[in-house]
Structures are given as C-alpha cells and as structure tokens.
C-alpha cells in the first residue's frame, strides 16, 4: 500500500510541469527550389555527399588547409570552449534535482554573565557540534525540470553553433584557396600578356627606327606594356593577401602556398533538381535556432513556476556535546527534519513581468527560427542559380577568348603589312586580356558557387544525421 502511494506521488510530481511543452512550429515551404536553372547533372548527382565535402575537389593542398583550419583555428577553439561551458551548466542544472548534503562542524567556548545569573551559576562552558545537513526542493511544479530542459537545449545549441563555425570555416578556407588559384592563373595570363606586349614594343621600336611607324605607335606600345606590368603587380599583391588570409585561417602565419593550376580542380556533383526543401533541417544554423527556441520555451515554465509555492525539505543529523570525547555517544545525538513552504504574495508585479518577458523572448526565438529557414531556402536557391549560370557562361567566355586571340593575330598581320594602325593591335590585346581574365574569374565563381551550395545545404544533400543530434 505504501509502495503504491509512493509511486502515485512520484508519477504526479513527474507529470506536474507548468509552462508550455515544446512542439516544432509548422513552416510552410515549397517542396522544391523553384526558379533554379536546369544544369547538366553528372552520374554522381544522387551520390551521398560526405561531411568532408571539400575532398571532392581532389586537391591535396586544399584538404591539408581545411584540416588545419578545423583543428587549429581559434574560432573553432572558442566554440569548443563554449560547449565545455554549457556542458558544465547542464551538469549543474541536473544536480539541482537531487538533495544537497553538507557537513558542518563548530566549536565554541563561552562564559555566563554574573550580572544576569546568580554568582554560583557563573561558569565557563564548551559547545562542540558536528552534523550532516541537507536541503531539497520538491520540484512539484517542474521548475527545476524546466531549467534542466533549457540547459539541455542550450548545450545542443552550442554543439550546433560549433557545426556552424566548422561549416563556415571550411567554406571560407575553400573559397579563399580558389581565389588564390584564380590569382595564380590570372598572374600567369598577365605575364604572358606582358611578354607579348614587350615583344610588340620591340617590333614597334624597329618600325619607328625604320620610318615605318610614328612616335604615337611607340607611345601606345610603351603605355600598353606599362599597363600590363602594373596589372601584374596588383595581382601579385592580391595573391599575397589571399595567402595571408589562409595563414590566419589555418593558424599558420608563415604559410607559403606554391602556385597551382585552377583548371585542374574538378567540379563536385550537382544536386538533383527535385531536391526537397525539407533537407534544410540538416543545416546546423537552423538546428541552432530551434534549440534556442526550445530553451526559450522552457524558460516560460520556469517563470510561471516562480508564481507558485516553493516546497522544500530540510534535515540534520549529528552530535553535540561539551567534550570532544563524548561527542560520539548516543546521548549526544541530535537530529531534525523540517518542511518549508514559501508563497510569493506581494512582488509588485515582478514575477508576472518575468513571465511576460520570457514569453516575449520565446516569440523572438520563434521568429528567429522561422527566419533562419527562410534564409536557408533563399541561399540554396541563390546557390543553384549561381552554379547553373556560371556553368552556362563558361562556353561563351571560352568562345570570347578564342575570338579575341584570332582578332589579335589578324590585327597584328594587318599592322605589320601596313594595312591598319597600331591602335587596332592595342584593342585586340586588351580584348584578349579581358577575355582571359573573365574566363578565369568565372571558373573561380563556379567553384565558389559550388561551395556556397554545399554550405547552404548544410554540407551536402543527404538526409543523414548531423554532427549534433537531439
């Protein structure tokens, strides 16, 4: 009978929790990413993308840089420290559910006053005391369990926050590396342009000396050569800055990256066009926003429980004696057990205001969660558009380079034959240089857009369990 009564009380206490229970909000989104262009998907489109998606670019240097960034970057270290902090907070919240046991000891020596007591009663006395004491709040309204629920959500939020940092850091490192390789290609193309213009400068000087060209042609050739030299110096400067950024991201401040070939980097698989928008749930920033919503929702219960009576039990067990030798005797034993109830009466609206404040914070967290989903959907759609359009532009840009190269050849032949002015050669040189750099930068944009797509999809397009789970 007593056992059944105890079980019934335990069940009643377990089910009595004030405040709203969390339910995931319903967010209406399209079932697919409308407006994304049709891209030529390869045979690997349906292949599951692993969390180390950067290895798809098959570049050993990139793999090494990303690995170094994820292991040594200070932002990751800060995220790990934050996880450790909230793990400790969770253990603290969990410990509040159990009684606290304290050991106390005291020793006092006192003398009675002769002005109060009779002279014969004046004496010096000792008071030695040692006892175990405990206090325990009965979580009748679920205040402590709501605190635990909030702490657990905050711990998960820190794990997802680390995933956000990891994903962003891998993306930034990859895109900076692609920028570096793009600048390598632009430096190579500009050096070829500079060499070509120096060769043309020699030809123009020879023609001027022979009286076949004017000083205007020489001035134009000198200006074109100087423009290419200045452009080369600017590209080298930008490459140094990109290299410095990679050094900071990887915590290798003396990092030196040898020149590489941008054209050798492959493109990762393109996602299937019927990719469901529900896969956005795997994005760590959306999971982070949801855990913040869970924590804010639980805090409403904590605030509401503060309006209700707080019930607690206290106990003490120990010994008290005038002499240390008799402290352990049974006759020196002391104990007490108590019950306390505290009900707020006049708080001048403070507790009610706290309920209103936590409710408002929950609304803000809800809006943040919904906004994160909408932002994620837009980012995926934008990335799909960028991947598709930059892929389609490559053919046109390559045709532009081929046409500019033919135009330079023909204008050179006409100039050397005396059929056209040197200005036509200059225009052809500039057009070829602009077309070459545009083609290189478009390839960089393709690679960067593919990274944006990986990030927007939370690291791929498989509905696998993320790094942190509820």
Q: Do 31 and 106 have their domain in common?
A: no
Q: How far apart are CA 373 and CA 293, in angstroms?
A: 13
Average pLDDT over residues 53-58: 89
Tell me the C-alpha distance between 150 and 86, whole Å.
11
Based on the domain organization, do 301 and 402 belong to the same domain? Answer: yes
Within this chain, do residues 13 and 92 fall inside the same structural domain, yes or no? yes
132 lies in the same domain as 264: no
pLDDT band at 358 (very low <50, low <70, confident <90, very high): very high
CATH number at residue 217: 1.20.1600.10
Give domain status of residue 330, yes or no. yes
Compute the chain's Rg from CA coordinates. Answer: 37
Per-residue pLDDT tens over the stretch 253-306: 999 999 988 888 888 776 665 566 666 677 899 999 999 999 999 999 999 988
Measured between alpha carbons, how far is 68 from 175 in angstroms, rounded to an integer? 15
Q: Which of 190, 193, 181, 189 is nearest to 261 (CA)?
A: 181
Comparing 107-111, 137-141, 262-266, 357-361, the range with the smallest average pLDDT is 107-111
Residue 11 is predicted with a pLDDT of: 43
Both tokens of 54, joined, read: 């950067």
Report the domain count for the chain: 2
**pLDDT tens digits for range 148-182:** 999 999 999 999 999 999 999 999 999 999 999 99
Exposed, middle or buried by CB within 10 Å (0-12, 13-18, 19+), for 405? middle
- Are both 259 and 359 inside the same structural domain? yes
**Domain containing 317: what range?**
100-138+309-342
Show the tokens assigned to 93.
Answer: 């919240």
Residues 288 and 325 in one domain: no
When pLDDT is averaged across residues 101-106 and rounded to a whole number, the result is 86
Q: What pLDDT is attached to residue 470?
A: 36
Are 367 and 255 part of one and the same domain?
A: yes
Query: Residue 205 pLDDT more than 60?
Result: yes
123 and 80 within one domain: no
Q: Is the pLDDT of residue 319 over 90?
A: no
pLDDT score of 1 more than 90: no
Domain shared by 363 and 215, yes or no: yes
Query: Is residue 24 within 8 Å of 290, Cβ to Cβ?
Result: yes
Neighbours of 117 (CB within 10 A): 11
Q: Is residue 119 part of a domain?
A: yes
- Domain shared by 150 and 207, yes or no: yes
* 416 and 445 together in one domain: yes
Picking from 220, 252, 305, the residue whose alpha carbon sits closest to that of residue 72 is 252
Q: What is the pLDDT of residue 114?
A: 64
Give the pLDDT band (50/70/90) at residue 466: very low
Q: Does residue 461 form part of some domain?
A: no
- Residue 277 is predicted with a pLDDT of 65
Lowest-confidence region among 2-6, 87-91, 218-222, 377-381: 2-6
């Amino acid at each position: 009978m007593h056992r059944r009564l105890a079980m019934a009380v335990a069940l009643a206490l377990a089910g009595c929790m004030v405040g709203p229970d969390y339910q995931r909000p319903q967010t209406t989104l399209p079932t697919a990413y409308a407006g994304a262009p049709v891209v030529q998907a390869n045979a690997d489109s349906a292949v599951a993308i692993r969390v180390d998606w950067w290895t798809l670019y098959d570049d050993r240097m990139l793999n090494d840089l990303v690995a170094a960034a994820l292991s040594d970057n200070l932002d990751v270290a800060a995220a790990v420290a934050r996880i450790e902090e909230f793990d400790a907070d969770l253990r603290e919240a969990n410990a509040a559910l159990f009684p606290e046991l304290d050991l106390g000891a005291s020793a006092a020596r006192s003398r009675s006053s002769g002005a109060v007591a009779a002279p014969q009663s004046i004496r010096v006395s000792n008071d030695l005391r040692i006892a175990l004491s405990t206090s325990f709040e009965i979580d009748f309204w679920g205040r402590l369990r709501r605190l635990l629920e909030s702490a657990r959500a905050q711990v998960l939020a820190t794990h997802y926050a680390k995933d956000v940092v990891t994903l962003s850091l891998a993306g930034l490192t990859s895109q900076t590396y692609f920028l570096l390789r793009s600048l390598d290609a632009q430096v190579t193309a500009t050096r070829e342009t500079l060499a070509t213009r120096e060769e043309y400068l020699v030809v123009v000087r020879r023609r001027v000396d022979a009286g076949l060209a004017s000083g205007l042609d020489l001035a134009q050739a000198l200006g074109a050569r100087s423009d290419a030299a200045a452009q080369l110096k600017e590209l080298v400067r930008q490459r140094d800055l990109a290299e410095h950024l990679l050094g900071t991201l990887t915590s290798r401040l003396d990092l030196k990256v040898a020149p590489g070939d941008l054209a050798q980097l492959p493109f990762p698989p393109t996602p299937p066009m019927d990719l469901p928008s529900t896969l956005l749930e795997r994005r760590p920033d959306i999971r982070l926003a949801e855990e913040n919503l869970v924590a804010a929702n639980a805090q409403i219960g904590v605030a509401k429980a503060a309006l209700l009576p707080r019930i607690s039990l206290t106990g003490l067990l120990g010994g008290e004696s005038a002499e240390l030798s008799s402290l352990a005797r049974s006759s020196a034993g002391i104990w007490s057990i108590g019950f306390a109830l505290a009900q707020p009466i006049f708080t001048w609206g403070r507790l009610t205001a706290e309920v209103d404040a936590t409710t408002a914070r929950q609304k803000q967290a809800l809006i943040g969660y919904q906004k994160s989903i909408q932002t994620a959907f837009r980012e995926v759609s934008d990335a799909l558009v960028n991947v598709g359009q930059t892929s389609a532009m490559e053919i046109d840009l390559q045709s532009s380079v081929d046409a500019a190269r033919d135009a330079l050849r023909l204008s050179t032949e006409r100039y050397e034959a005396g059929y056209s002015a040197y200005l036509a050669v200059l225009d052809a040189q500039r057009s070829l240089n602009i077309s070459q750099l545009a083609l290189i930068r478009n390839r960089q944009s393709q690679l960067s857009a593919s990274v944006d797509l990986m990030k927007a999809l939370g690291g791929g397009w498989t509905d696998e369990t993320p790094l942190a789970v509820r």
